[in-house]
Structure 1
Amino acid sequence: MSAIVNRLAPANAVVPEQQPSAVAGLRLETRIVDGAEWDRTIAGFDEVCQEQLHVFATARWPSVKQEPMLFLADGQVVGGSLMMVQPLPLRIGHIAVSKWGPMLKDSSAPHAAALRDAMVEALIADYAERRGLMLSVLPRAALETDNSAYERLLARGFKRGSELGFPSRYIVRLGLSDAEQRKSLQQKWRYHLNKSEKAGLSFEHAGPERMGEFDRLYAAMSERKQFPDHSAYDTVPLLMALDIETLRPELFFVRHAGEVVAGALIFKAGDRAVYLYGATNDTALPLRAGYFMHWQIIRWLRDNTRAGWYDLGGTDGFHGLHQFKKGMVGEAGVITPVPPVANYAARPWAYLLGNGAFWARDAAYHIRRVVTGALRPKARPDQAPVVVEAGQP
């Protein structure tokens, strides 16, 4: 038995009765498990994502304590949240963070919203009330006009916290026929795709043993663009070594005249596939290899996964990337914002400490971005802030 802790959430870990989807008396058991069991269990979740993987989080944030918490109803797992208990400067306290959580195992289950509420209540009871920490929850971007998960957090007493400078996520709808998908694309994107299909390009689905090729392509691109890499690329070897096939990213290449000119790594588990990393060489741009590659990835995901959506990520403030992704999202997809962090504390001092830590972190990120932009003009964002209602392309 790999469970480290097995406890019943207190009686107040129930769905708030004022919520319209409430199920009277719903109570969830919480169980903290080890990392291996956690990753195996969430591999089948609808809402699983890279950031919630234990193997990823421990490498990405090594100084943070990871607590993989499962939620059970009547003995059956219904959801989970990888809780990150992060120390504050000078060890004056801690905050508990749920990034892209809590996750539902079955997002289409009856009373799914009530289950999510019950998971939040269990987190409040444990981290905010019992331990006295500030609890920070960041739900994933919603596909609908309103992010109901975020709105329900605010209704429960959470306060709006930090937010991204460019929060929009660009999400392609999968499951369409080739003709329907092409029709959805913006006209200019479709024009470039047509050109790429006449350029003699070929598409390859590769195994993990070919990661060396992608590493070389990625390193060369980074050197060429001179962008500082603050990504989690150093976690890729661990992800590619996973023995859980569902969670292992998929590797794709585009070749021209015998040479690999573009590549991509895609997280495919759950109901949303996610574009993790891409790389191109000098000859890819005139060949429009990026258009060709993403078109083929969309078709591969449709035919080989259960994902209904393909999340292209954000833009980091670059207008050209905005234009490229917006054209691919087209009419059938959505451009939707990641909501701000939602913070909750049962004790005023915990909220002041936690909110102050977020403020200091945001200030440090802003300074780093300004300095980087001054030293490397190519890395300076050129996209005006975009306010997008969820669900609006």
Structure 2
Amino acid sequence: MSVIADRLIQTGSEPQQKLRAAVSATPMLETRIVSGEEWDRTIAGFDEVCQEQLYAFAITRWPSVKQEPMLFLLDGKVVGGSLMMVQPLPLRLGYIAVSKWAPMLADNTCPEADAIHAGMVEALIAEYADRRGQMLSILPRASTGPVNREYERLETRGFKRGSELLFPSRYIVNLRLDDASQRKSFSQNWRRQLNKADKAGLTFERAGPERIGEFETLYAAMTDRKQFSDHSAYETVHALMAMEEPLRPELFFVRQGDELVYGALIFKAGDRAVYLYGASNEQALPLRAGYFMHWQIIRWLRDNTRATWYDLGGTDGFQGLHQFKKGMVGEAGVIRPVPPVANYASKPLAYLLGAGAFAARDVVYHLRRVIDGWRNPKTKGDQVRTNTDEASE
């Protein structure tokens, strides 16, 4: 039996027995902390790569947090990775090691995928919880299946339930349908609105990174018009647009005649494309430009990327945004929750300090939300925030 299997908690229940069986043939993974440049270059081909695991994103979003890009190797081959953020607790009483939307698999279709994921978790426990004495905090991404196996595995391993998103649902479109099947999958109302948009004289275009200024103009005008408090990671846009392919987001526009009415930034690497940001002018809503834009993006992603899914992100509690995204997900897509944060510590004091810090942070976020509600009671939710939300701050 492997070293990893020996490290697992004593089994007894059926899930625990399955977990031990999954990793029993997996050797201990080698770990390697690399530079940010090597990290971004290496994970570009991962199935589970996402924008928040990019070093260029993280160092811009959280400049005061230590970033540790950790690769996992099996027999000398890179099989996964996790960008670890090591954050000091108040008064330097300790540290928390945070892994968001990770650990990521390089190949999530390989037969050993479950065992490799379990091996990566064990390696993180060994380094951060056992050797350094820190609390380890892991937030898996939403699953496209009915059960989030990554989170289930963490619970079985002894991780404890931590912070949860107030609105955890993620709306995920199936990209692997032909045009007729995709349109049929949409809800009846979504199809009706799209049919109207098709008759509005709109055009769709893909733009290069040199045109990001046009998007920023739309975005600035929209935020001024709607007066919402933007807590997203919009400040990372320039760092993302400066990246090489395939990690650089795609920029799309919809125009009516000579006027740009809608813009969107899409992360397209890996098996799951992600809607990052959208911006529109006042004409977009009556023209139903959002329906037209997303329909064209779905088709473009299907024909030009290897992505299987298109993650529209959440709703922040806005009912209109829920109806819009639910209708687009339709019958072929899925709506799945982001699981709670999973926390683990080898030492009781490390867990107590880390869990306390997270609880204090959650209180601050709740107060911020209440204050935002007072300031902007009529704020619309269609500024579009996806996976760059408070779970990632």
TM class, shorter-chain normalised?
A: over 0.9
Contact 2:4 2:119 survives alignment (8 Å): no
Q: What per-residue deviation string (whole Å, max 9, x for no partner) do you get for residues 41-79 of structure 1? A: 000000000010000001101111000000000000000
The CA distance in 2 between the partners of 1:347 and 1:361, in whole Å, is 22
1:303-382 alignment, distance < 5 Å:
303-379=303-379
Which amino acid is 2:165 matched to?
Answer: L
Which amino acid is 1:58 matched to?
Answer: I
Q: Which residue of 2 aligns with 1:388?
A: none
Structure 1 residue 293 corresponds to structure 2 residue 293: yes
Q: CA deviation at 1:356?
A: 0.3
- TM-score, with length taken from structure 1: 0.92
The CA distance in 1 between the partners of 2:26 and 2:118, in whole Å, is 12
The CA distance in 2 between the partners of 1:12 and 1:106, in whole Å, is 20
The CA distance in 2 between the partners of 1:183 and 1:21, in whole Å, is 39
1:113-262 alignment, distance < 5 Å:
113-242=114-243, 244-262=244-262
Instruction: Specify which structure has the higher proportion of helix.
Output: 2
Q: CA deviation at 1:92?
A: 1.3
Contact 1:15 1:25 survives alignment (8 Å): no
Contact 1:15 1:117 survives alignment (8 Å): no
Q: Which residue of 2 aligns with 1:385?
A: none
* Secondary structure, aligned partner of 1:68: strand
The CA distance in 2 between the partners of 1:214 and 1:378, in whole Å, is 24
Q: What per-residue deviation string (whole Å, max 9, x for no partner) do you get for residues 357-392 of structure 1? A: 1000000000010011012102388xxxxxxxxxxx
Contact 1:372 1:379 survives alignment (8 Å): no
Which amino acid is 1:65 matched to?
Answer: K
The CA distance in 2 between the partners of 1:294 and 1:46, in whole Å, is 23
Q: CA deviation at 1:325?
A: 0.3
The CA distance in 1 between the partners of 2:69 and 2:313, in whole Å, is 25
Q: CA deviation at 1:168?
A: 0.2
Contact 2:23 2:119 survives alignment (8 Å): no
The CA distance in 2 between the partners of 1:14 and 1:228, in whole Å, is 49
Q: CA deviation at 1:13?
A: 7.6
- Structure 1's 299 and 12: CA in aligned 2 closer, same or farther, altered over 3 A? closer
Which amino acid is 1:266 matched to?
Answer: I
Q: CA deviation at 1:22?
A: 2.4
Contact 1:38 1:68 survives alignment (8 Å): yes
The CA distance in 1 between the partners of 2:158 and 2:372, in whole Å, is 37
The CA distance in 2 between the partners of 1:14 and 1:161, in whole Å, is 26
Q: Which residue of 1 aligns with 2:108?
A: 107
The CA distance in 1 between the partners of 2:379 and 2:224, in whole Å, is 12
The CA distance in 2 between the partners of 1:375 and 1:187, in whole Å, is 36
The CA distance in 2 between the partners of 1:106 and 1:25, in whole Å, is 16
State, as a whole percentage, how many aligned pairs show the same letter: 73
Q: Which residue of 2 aligns with 1:92?
A: 93
Q: What per-residue deviation string (whole Å, max 9, x for no partner) do you get for residues 6-32 of structure 1? A: xxxx94587848314224252100000
Which amino acid is 1:78 matched to?
Answer: V
Q: What per-residue deviation string (whole Å, max 9, x for no partner) do you get for residues 82-118 of structure 1? A: 0000111121111000000000000001120010000
- TM-score, with length taken from structure 2: 0.92
- Structure 1's 213 and 105: CA in aligned 2 closer, same or farther, altered over 3 A? same
- Structure 1's 98 and 13: CA in aligned 2 closer, same or farther, altered over 3 A? farther
The CA distance in 1 between the partners of 2:201 and 2:195, in whole Å, is 12
The CA distance in 1 between the partners of 2:312 and 2:328, in whole Å, is 9
Contact 1:13 1:125 survives alignment (8 Å): no
Which amino acid is 1:296 matched to?
Answer: Q
Q: Which residue of 1 aligns with 2:268?
A: 268
Q: Which residue of 2 aligns with 1:390?
A: none
CA RMSD of aligned residues (A): 1.4
Q: Which residue of 1 aligns with 2:64?
A: 63
Q: Which residue of 1 aligns with 2:25?
A: 24
* Secondary structure, aligned partner of 1:378: coil
